[in-house]
Amino acid sequence: MARIAKTPVIILLVPMLVPMVPGGDLYRMMINLVMDDSMQVRFYGYKLVMEVGAIAFGIIVISTAMQLILKMHAHIKETGKASRG
């Protein structure tokens, strides 16, 4: 999409990820922090970190896969032209 729009990827990535942030768990963690319930704070904090980590991991995997695919495509294009003469 960024290539089609000719904009940096980060410009499109940030607005797309904001709705994915697990707001409910963040809210529950902060409420329990205010209520001084450390067990629940740890539970929701751990859950929040795992969810955010999974989102970040997914972004990294897809970005890396796309870079590899584009490099392979460019390499195939170059070798195809060279072999044709």
- Residues 3-54 pLDDT 10s: 787 878 777 777 777 777 788 888 999 999 999 999 999 999 999 999 989 9
CB neighbour list of residue 71: distance below 8 Å, 6 or more residues apart:
none
In whole angstroms, what is the distance from residue 57 CA to residue 36 CA? Answer: 31
Per residue in 44-72, pLDDT (tens digit) is 999 999 998 998 898 899 889 989 999 99
Q: Among candidates 5, 12, 10, 21, which has minimal Cα distance to 53? A: 21
Q: 85 pLDDT exceeds 60?
A: no
12 contacts 1 by C-beta, under 8 angstroms = yes
pTM over 0.75: no
Domains in the chain: boundaries: 23-84
